[in-house]
Structure 1
Amino acid sequence: MMIRVATIGFTAKSAERFFMLLRNASVKTLLDVRLNNSSQLAGFAKKDDLRFFVSELVGAQYQELGELAPEASMLKRYREKELDWTTYASAYCELLARRRVESNLDEALFDRACLLCSEHLPHHCHRRLAVEYLNEAWGQRMEVVHLV
């Protein structure tokens, strides 16, 4: 069975665009994989507001998924340019392996789900790394689309 999963970042999107992308992709669960999800610049992206908006505007559920969030020290070192992208990506994937996320997370949770982070594009974002890691671990059973 193929699992349909999406990813999205809220930065550089209006609330209208953000929620329309989720609705048009038929997302049933928004999986919040951010380390910090309560003090974002975009008001609609705060976790308590998202729970309401996603339910009312998309007809989907909201769930925090901290298992896929980076560690605070790792993210800080990347943002402060102490780690380049390649080193950060490698460290993040090692973190997922140590957490054994492929064994601890239910594949069914990801069907018609969308991983949320802040980065506008997936190229340098841990949400892309997370779905690639899980897809590899689960035998390439996920069809991934990045909503931009």
Structure 2
Amino acid sequence: MELMTIGFTQTSAEHFFKRLQTAGVKRVIDVRLNNTSQLAGFAKAQDLAWFLRVIGGIDYVYEPLLAPTEDMLAAYKKEKGDWGEYERRFLALLEQRRVEDKFTPTLFDRGCLLCSEATSEHCHRRLVAEYLRRKWSEPVAVRHL
């Protein structure tokens, strides 16, 4: 099973959609807390679902259980919090929510976790992918597009 991740900031729509198509993504799994912001541009939820379907024949699913809480996000982003602390809190949240039991690996096979961050280093989509890889018995290869 392969699970991919992607961010939409600091990229053009063309580059974003080409990366998804080239990777053979079947489903984009949106893990953003806020997926309707005007700042999202081409990645606003309603527009994104249409673009994915028309441009690449790719499904779109919104999974807020895989997003941080408003408080966590604000403490890290707005208050310029420590990444290590954010990571610990977010992983504890995934554990508390028992997300590994709420989703089947088949939903994520050839799926791509979407968030806004340009790279995966300091983004919760990487944490979600690594968490699921550790929790599921089925081998999961993670690739960041």
Question: Normalising by the residue count of structure 1, what TM-score does the alignment of the two structures yield?
Answer: 0.95
Partner of residue 76 from structure 2, selected from 68, 78, 92: 78
| Aligned sequence identity (%) | 49
1:35 paired to 2:33: yes
Q: Aligned ranges for residues 83-102 of structure 1 at < 5 Å?
A: 83-102=81-100
1:36 partner amino acid: N
Q: Which residue of 1 aligns with 2:67?
A: 69
Cα distance in 2, alignment partners of residues 80 and 118 from structure 1: 15
Partner of residue 126 from structure 1, selected from 120, 124, 128: 124
Q: Aligned ranges for residues 40-51 of structure 1 at < 5 Å?
A: 40-51=38-49
Cα distance in 2, alignment partners of residues 140 and 40 from structure 1: 38
TM superposition shift of 1:141: 1.1
Runs (5+) with no aligned partner, structure 2: none
Q: Aligned ranges for residues 133-144 of structure 1 at < 5 Å?
A: 133-139=131-137, 141-144=139-142
Q: Per the alignment, in what secondary structure is the counterpart of residue 41 of structure 1?
A: helix
Cα distance in 2, alignment partners of residues 110 and 102 from structure 1: 11
Q: From the superposition, tell whether residues 10 and 106 of structure 1 become closer, same or farther in structure 2 (CA, over 3 Å).
A: same
Q: How many residues in Structure 1 have an aligned counterpart in Structure 2?
A: 145
Runs (5+) with no aligned partner, structure 1: none
Question: Normalising by the residue count of structure 2, what TM-score does the alignment of the two structures yield?
Answer: 0.96
Cα distance in 2, alignment partners of residues 67 and 39 from structure 1: 18
